[in-house]
């Protein structure tokens, strides 16, 4: 029983070490800041800053929200500029929404705001570290357990002999 606990501790320590070692490689956070909008001619111009890894592809989307109605969500369709898939890292990004194409009568009220969402698209991230590290972790744990005799050692009682024939 005591032997079992020590191997669980070794396994836990190896697992914790693995995740602490790869955390810096995975910390490629994307942050959207300074979202502001203004009405220019008959268009809404949404400005934002995007911080994240340089020269990487992002997926950027725009959502119109309303402070007085938390359930209100409108995704503008007729948009141009720094939206969709592309390399948008940096400041002074701009999305132009042709509001009257999507909502011909316009919007009433003043409590609207925009939410700009950005996600880092694949292609060269650190996800391969999960597979390699997981294989090393599982293989190392199996080797330690096999070498110590925990794996392969039978603790079950042998089968009893079959009953004699009458």
Sequence-ordered list of residues with C-beta below 8 angstroms from that of 119, at least 6 positions apart, any chain: 30, 58, 59
Classify 127 as helix, strand or coil: helix
What are the pLDDT digits (tens) for 80-113?
Answer: 999 999 999 999 999 999 999 999 998 888 999 9
Instruction: Single out the residue of 78, 123, 127, 125 nearest to residue 101, CA to CA.
Output: 78
Which residue would you say has higher pLDDT here, 19 or 136? 136
Domain that holds residue 55: 31-120
Model confidence at 120, in pLDDT bands (50, 70, 90)?
A: very high
CA distance 133 to 124: 16
Q: Are residues 133 and 68 in the same domain?
A: no
Q: Are residues 66 and 115 in the same domain?
A: yes
Element (H, E) at 144: helix 127-147
Average pLDDT over the chain, rounded to whole? 80
Q: Are residues 53 and 103 in the same domain?
A: yes
Q: Are residues 101 and 115 in the same domain?
A: yes
Q: Are residues 98 and 43 in the same domain?
A: yes
Q: Are residues 50 and 96 in the same domain?
A: yes
- Of the chain, the percentage scoring pLDDT greater than 90 comes to 48
- pLDDT for the residue 102: 95
Q: Are residues 20 and 76 in the same domain?
A: no
Question: What CATH number does residue 52 fall under?
Answer: 2.60.40
Q: Are residues 22 and 35 in the same domain?
A: no
Mean pLDDT is highest, among 6-15, 94-103, 138-147, for 94-103
Q: Are residues 97 and 142 in the same domain?
A: no
Lowest mean pLDDT among 18-22, 37-41, 44-48, 159-163: 18-22
Does residue 4 carry a pLDDT above 70? no
Model confidence at 24, in pLDDT bands (50, 70, 90)?
A: very low
Q: Are residues 141 and 71 in the same domain?
A: no
Q: Are residues 95 and 132 in the same domain?
A: no
Which residue would you say has higher pLDDT here, 3 or 59? 59
Instruction: Give residue 33's Cα distance to chain centre.
Output: 19
Number of domains within the chain: 2
Instruction: Give residue 157's Cα distance to chain centre.
Output: 48
Q: Are residues 107 and 55 in the same domain?
A: yes
């Amino acid at each position: 029983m005591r032997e079992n606990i020590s191997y669980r501790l070794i396994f836990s320590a190896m697992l914790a070490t693995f995740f602490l070692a790869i955390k810096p490689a995975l910390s490629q956070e994307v942050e959207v800041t300074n979202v502001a909008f203004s009405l220019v001619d008959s268009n809404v111009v949404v400005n934002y800053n995007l911080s994240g890894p340089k020269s990487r592809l992002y997926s950027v989307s725009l959502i119109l929200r309303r402070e007085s109605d938390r359930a209100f969500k409108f995704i503008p369709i007729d948009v141009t500029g720094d939206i969709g898939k592309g390399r948008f890292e940096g400041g002074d990004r701009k999305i132009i929404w042709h509001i009257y194409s999507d909502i011909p009568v316009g919007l009433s009220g003043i409590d609207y705001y925009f939410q700009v969402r950005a996600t880092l698209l694949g292609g060269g991230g650190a996800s391969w570290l999960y597979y390699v590290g997981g294989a090393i972790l599982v293989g190392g744990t199996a080797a330690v357990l096999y070498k110590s005799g925990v794996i392969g050692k039978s603790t079950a009682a042998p089968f009893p002999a079959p009953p004699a024939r009458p």
